[in-house]
Structure 1
Amino acid sequence: MKPFYIACIGVLLIFASCTDVIEVDVPEGPERLVVEASLDWEKGTSGNNQTIVLSTSTPFFAEQKIVPVLGASVKVTNTDTAAEFIFTSQNNGEYTTSSFVPIVGDTYQLEVLYNGETYTATETLYPLVDTIEVSQSKDGGEDDEALEVNVTFQDPEGLGDYYFLRFKSQNDLLSELYYIKDEFIDGNEATFYYEKLEGEDSVDEFKPGDVVDVALMGISKQYHDYLRLLVDQYENAGTPFSPTPVPLVGNCVNLDDPNNLAYGYFRVTEIIQTEYTFE
């Protein structure tokens, strides 16, 4: 038996020596500024406290996924009143203010000075419905045995409104996003639901005691169109190496070098936020 034992070891060594290391060459784009500027005015608050986050894009396999931008100059101007709001660096990529004044119908312009270049973006603060109703049911989704959370609101007639509805289960990392145009709900009461179905992705259905964060925002048409592209690309994503179907560019423009565009978006919204616990 000893010769057979030695022969087996030899075969294993031969196969082990045939192992090759395959290195995947992942194309890397240029480093770009990433702008997270969501000025959300929650109903019932002054909206004075706001935060803008700046970072730079990183390669896919980089160890540090988020690289904060330090030393930038950030301000927002109300172009209707000429009021300026300076955002102060917190030395971690966050720039904050406690003096922002949100006014429905007014237009705001973001200005970021970074690496000798000026980035700007403009958004208008649109109104939002006064109230929303949040409830649960089992009859609105695909599975009449599965719990779902419902958001109902009354759309004003004839205004051409756009909405952004976000559900975030506190058991999950990612949110469920809805971009809504009032084309088919104009002037009517509208209900939207969020249901989780058990399946191949190890998704657990909602059960009593689960908590969902709900947010409804009134948004501009341009932000609605940006969200549509964002959600469509997310839902149709392939492997990490799949090419992006359409370059997703926000509303931040580089005045000094248009080719050196920024990622991210500057939005100004009125928002209703609440938390729902399933019974």
Structure 2
Amino acid sequence: MKNVSLYNHFIVLIMVCISLSSCEDVIQADLDTGEAKLLVDAEILWQKGTDGAVQTIKISRMTAYYNPETPKVSGALVNISNSSGTQFAFEETAPGIYTCTSFVPALNETYTLHVAADGQVYTATETLMPVAEIDHTDQISNGGFSGDETEVSIYFNDPANITNYYLSSFITPVLPYTEYDLNGDELSDGNAIKSDFSHEDLKPGDALQITVRGISYQFYNYMNLILSAADSDPFSTPPANIKGNILNQDNNGSPALGYFRLCETDYIEYVVE
């Protein structure tokens, strides 16, 4: 299943907004180039019904705004350890792509990410969170804010008396980026939770790749900031300045961008009727 970086998602939003509001003349601002911070895309996904052994971490570097290529970081040392000290090594299989084929996921287990790159060591610790199984789907033709869009919804039954947070993603042919939807169970504990996507250009035969993740409260807050920034003024503070959990072990060093997260997931492919 294809996945899209949250940072790429935000950049696409900026470019779309600019293109919709621009005049005929193109103005390219002379922007300062900031620090080329490390960007670690470390999402461990354990799809229900699989062993979760194959996992991938991507490491790149921030670059100038107008640079179409994201610099990949090669030669890093990457591993994840669990609470008992077992280490899972990630080997570089392509520039900036690090893969493990023997990862052992366990629900509610605590894992620590270790990344050594450019003489710096970065670490992050998170817990692998469970997720409720997708129960059923629904489609209506009068959905969306204006009531004239095709809307596809998934429903999952939240476990009672347990605090849970969810992140759903929708990959569709009508958008160049992944759409995300956050949910918590503060007001719906033990009940069905709905997550949906709507768009006026959805048509019969379009396939939606839908994934729901169980996430931690900390990652829920992080994603809430990311999505709030992406949905606001495109010229406001970008999500790149939102602090993640990947810390530089050098007290004087800069933290890496990104968030180390581990999620049990459920996935379906829905074809619009």
TM-score bucket of the superposed structures, by smaller chain: 0.7 to 0.9
- Offset of residue 258 of structure 1: 4.6
- Distance verdict in 2 for CA 1:249–1:43, change over 3 Å: same
2:124 is the alignment partner of 1:124: no
Residue 31 of structure 2 corresponds to which residue in structure 1? 26
Larger mean Cα displacement after TM superposition, 46-55 or 121-130? 121-130
Q: 5+ unaligned residues in a row in structure 1: which ranges?
A: 1-21, 198-203
Which of the residues 96, 101, 113 maps onto 1:98?
101
Report the Cα distance in structure 1 between the residues aligned to 2:179 and 2:252, rounded to whole angstroms: 33
Query: Alignment identity in percent?
Result: 35
SS at match of 2:221: helix
Identify the residue that residue 13 of structure 2 maps to in structure 1: none
Give the match for residue 43 of structure 2. Answer: 38
Closer, same or farther in 2 for the Cα pair 1:147/1:255, shift >3 Å?
same
What is residue 6 of structure 2 aligned with on the other side? none
Indicate conservation of the 8 Å contact 1:140/1:193, yes or no: no
Matches for 1:77-156 after TM superposition, within 5 Å: 77-79=81-83, 81-138=84-141, 141-156=144-159
Give the greater-gyration-radius structure (CA).
Answer: 1
Q: Distance in 1 between matches of 2:128 and 2:56?
A: 17
Match of 1:188 in 2: 191
**In 1: Cα distance, 2:207 partner to 2:155 partner:** 18
1:143 Cα shift?
4.5
State the TM-score, normalized to the length of structure 1.
0.83
- State the partner residue of 1:49: 54
Q: Give the CA deviation at 1:235.
A: 0.4
Change beyond 3 A, Cα 1:113–1:274: same
**More moved, 172-181 vs 226-235:** 172-181
How far apart, in 2, do the equivalents of 1:121 and 1:128 lie? 22
> What number of residue pairs does the alignment pair up?
248
What residue is the counterpart of 2:212 in the other structure?
216
Return 5+ residue gaps in structure 2 as ranges: 1-26
TM-score (ref. length: structure 2): 0.85
Change (3 A) 1:246 1:169: closer
Output the CA distance in 1 between the equivalents of 2:220 and 2:246. 16
The 5 Å alignment of 1:223-234 reads 223-234=219-230
Correspondence for 1:244: 238
Q: Give the direction of change, closer, same or farther, for the CA distance of 1:55–1:23 in structure 2 (3 Å limit).
A: closer
Q: CA RMSD in A?
A: 2.0
